[in-house]
Amino acid sequence: MKNKILITGGVGYIGSHTVVELHNANFEVIIVDDLSNSSVSVLKQIEKITGVAPKFYELDVSKYDQLETIFKENQGIDAIIHFAAAKAVGESVDNPLKYYKNNLVSLLNLIECQKKFNVNNMVFSSSCTVYGQPNVLPVTEQTPRQDAESPYGNTKRVGEDMISDSVSAYSQLNAIALRYFNPIGAHESALIGELPIGVPQNLVPFISQTAAGIREKLLVFGDDYDTKDGSAIRDFINVVDLAKAHVVALKRLLDKKNKTSFEIFNLGTGNGYSVLELIKTFEEVTGVKVNYEIAPRRAGDIEKIWADTTFANEELGWKAEKSLQETLLSVWNWQKNITN
CA distance 280 to 209: 15
- Select which of 152, 180, 225, 273 is catalytic: 152
For residues 88 and 201, is the Cβ–Cβ distance under 8 A? yes
E-strand stretches of 192-308: 218-221, 233-234, 236-238, 262-267, 273-274, 292-295
Cα–Cα distances in angstroms (integers) from residue 232 to residues 133, 193, 239, in the given order: 12, 24, 21
In angstroms, how far apart are the furthest CA atoms of the chain?
Answer: 56
Which sign does the torsion angle of CA 37, 9, 318, 186 carry?
negative
Count of helices and strands (H, E) across the chain: 12, 13
Q: What type of residue sits at position 266?
A: N
CA distance 340 to 336: 6
- Say whether 152 is catalytic: yes
Which sign does the torsion angle of CA 57, 156, 169, 318 carry?
positive
Q: How far is CA 44 from the centre of its chain?
A: 21
What residues act catalytically?
Answer: 152
